[in-house]
A and B are shown apart, each in its own frame.
Chain A
Amino acid sequence: MTTGTNEISGPATSSITRPEPICGMDTWMPVATRVTAIKRENLNTHTYRMEIVDEALRAQYRWAPGQFNMLYAPGVGEAAISISSDADTPDMLDHTIRVVGSVTRTIFRTQVGEILGLRGPFGVGWPIDRLDGRDVVLVGGGIGIAPLRPVIYWLLANRDRVGRVVVLYGCRTPEDRVYAEELENWAEHAPIDVLVTVDNATGGWTGPVGVVTKLLQRIRVNAERTVVMVCGPRILNRVAASEFLQLHVPPSQVYVSLERNMNCGFGRCGHCQYGHWFVCKDGPVFCFKDIADIFAIEEI
């Protein structure tokens, strides 16, 4: 126990006072954001471009690739959504959202010009500061490409700082692809390798078919100098991490972004516990070596 008496430290106040909530701080009060553009990605996934309504807050707002916001539909609730735009233009926030339940359905009904709430940014993102001189492999599955897109923007802007860059992306059918045009554009014109695979080749798809980890056969991995970042469904995270470890990529160079039920986003509500970690504040991006003891254990 930390205190010797009942008196706990800090100034005693007679009523509850606190500064105005600021983005990224522990608060239940969301800030208003305006939807400025909506882009359809696939049948149930759309990208919402937003700006914080309050100009001062908008100017202050900073985030890092891999971080997420709690997006708020007033009266309905919140959902954890990764920021998927370019962190170099932090005032223009993209959130790519797949409709699965009540909050995402309400957001789906939101029109350009309307407002939503936002709390964030929360969490620890990708190891951008550890990429110098490295080869980088990004592995995304389905909507899991969303938190990786800011990394791609960063890599493109800092292309000379890193070695080889490979993006592996898998989804169910070609129609399910998220960021389809951008991926095609990067594959053709950008100085990075982009490989896309689908589970079912519908609509005249001539590209690779099969799970995303099969794409690994098509690339050469220099294990010692490669940093891997994975985000996808639980099963993809598991298989991809295991494949790269088998290729002798050190566990300290494999990163996974995990998904958990989230309510607060700042480490207090307990929902996102993963072993002793709180995914919302210790993650969602984890270095594999930190979670190897519990990784892939069912129901942990």
Chain B
Amino acid sequence: MNADDSVRQFLPKASLEALIAALRDQGYTVLGPRERDGVIALREVHAAADLAHGMHDEQAPGHYRLTADDDQLYFNYVLGADGPKRYLFPAQQRVVQLHVEGQRFVMDAASPAPPKLAFLGVRACELAAIAVQDRVFGADDPRTFRCEAELSYCETRRNAFFVAVNCTRPGGTCFCVSMGTGPKAERGYDLALTELRAGFVVEIGSERGREVAAQLPLRLPTEAELELADIKLAQARHSMGRTLQTDGLRTTLARNIEHPRWDQVAKRCLSCGNCTMVCPTCFCSTVVDSSALDGGSVTRTRLWESCFTHQFSYAHPGPVRHSIRGRYRQWLRHKLSTWWDQFGSSGCVGCGRCITWCPVGIDITEEACAIAATPSQSNSPFAEAWEGEGEAEAAGEVPR
């Protein structure tokens, strides 16, 4: 079902409480935006009062501030540094626990039952990012045989309930319109809300959503309410903090492995890895072993990994990507180009987090744009053999 064939409804502001209660009654742990250390963070909420409200965020390259604003509005800010990935693909997760018994490995503990999570206030770009990770972890194809870590992702994700909030006030680093992922949630939600001062225009996106909606004091919205919601969303589309020209970008980046811009950005980048830690699609990880003190059992734990570290690419006799230039290039080309080859989509959904949380304010849209503006088309010394139709002839011209 999609939003078009469902009737839009209206949830009065005071009944946000009823929504949280209904989800909790169904056994969900409700996770919503809360203010924590001056940043919006996705944490458990027990009641509407727990939600951050009456504030908006200022986001710019390397800059984030929460500022008091209209007290009637809950969701006047956009994303903080974390999001649903924190729960679906945790930064640290046990994959297996085993012990050696004679000449056998015995699995000690079955993975715990996946949690039942309801995400309240999830944005369109985040739903798009979850769809990207679904493809990475095989959640879109039940036939794939999945490792323990992916199974946990798939089960948690399958259980999850998503209450989307359409963005009516995009942030200063957002560019979801360019990436075709927002600001309105079009799919992947159970319920979607568009916030007005008096309440929320509600759309139902799934059967599960319909069941929860049935328990809410919904009424039909007035013409004026619907019109206002539409105007706010149309305005949002035109107030993106950033834009990215995506036409041909995948190919441009495939062809511009060597480009002077990589040297320039490498002079600014600290290789801190913040961009990979906040990105909702980054999936790299490392499984490490730890032994119990009694030497009995071994726990294998999956940790988030960043392509900005040395150990990420370490292979005797040294890291493949030994310079910041090489690592930044890997990250940006992966997001906007090679991801397409691997998973059939962009690896960037335009959430803007990597821009906001970069301590030196490096902007992925600016870097990609600079390369697209002055393509150098210089690639491998062997590229001739690749481009050439008659392989044998082309090979003869390969420089040494």
Binding site for B on A (CB under 8 A): 1-16, 18, 25-32, 34, 53-54, 74-77, 100-101, 115, 117, 223-224, 241-242, 245-246, 248-252, 259-261, 263-264, 266, 268-271, 273, 275-276, 278, 288-289, 292-300
Contacts and interface: CB of A to CB of B under 8 A. Distances in A.
Given A53-B103, A293-B383, A12 B325 contact: no
Contact of B342 (A74, A249, A276): A276
B334 A8 contact: no
Nearest to A278: B342
Contacts of B189: 6
Contacts of B100: 32, 74, 115
B315 interface: yes
B316 to A, nearest CB: 5
B103 A28 contact: no
A297 B147 contact: no
B92 interface: no
Task: Tell me the interface secondary structure of chain A in the complex.
Answer: loop
Nearest to B257: A297
A141 to B, nearest CB: 13
A5 B315 CA distance: 42
Given A53-B104, A75-B290, A289-B391, A5 B385 contact: no
Contacts of B340: 276
A271 B312 contact: yes
Nearest to A74: B298
A34 B104 CA distance: 10
Interface of B: 1-2, 95-96, 98, 100, 103-105, 107, 110-111, 113-114, 128, 131, 134-137, 139-142, 145-152, 154-155, 157-162, 187-190, 205-209, 254, 257-258, 283-291, 295, 298, 300, 302, 305, 307, 311-316, 320-323, 325-327, 329-330, 334, 337-342, 379-387, 391-392, 394-396, 398, 400
Contacts of A13: 155
Given A4-B2, A75-B289, A100 B145 contact: no
B346 to A, nearest CB: 11
Contacts of A15: 110, 113-114, 155
A136 B155 CA distance: 49
Contact of A32 (B105, B145, B315, B386): B105
B287 A28 contact: yes
Given A6-B189, A53-B103, A269-B285, A251 B385 contact: yes
Given A5-B187, A271-B312, 14 more contacts: A4-B2, A5-B1, A16-B110, A16-B114, A18-B148, A26-B150, A27-B148, A53-B104, A74-B298, A117-B105, A241-B382, A251-B391, A271-B284, A299-B320
A75 B394 CA distance: 50
A261 B320 CA distance: 9
A295 B96 contact: no
Contact of B105 (A1, A29, A271): A29
A246 B400 contact: yes
A95 B134 CA distance: 36
Given A5-B205, A246-B400, A16 B151 contact: yes
Contacts of A9: 140-142
24 contacts: A3-B187, A5-B1, A6-B206, A10-B154, A15-B113, A18-B151, A25-B145, A28-B287, A28-B302, A53-B104, A75-B289, A76-B289, A241-B382, A246-B398, A250-B391, A252-B391, A263-B287, A268-B136, A270-B285, A270-B305, A276-B338, A276-B339, A299-B323, A300-B326
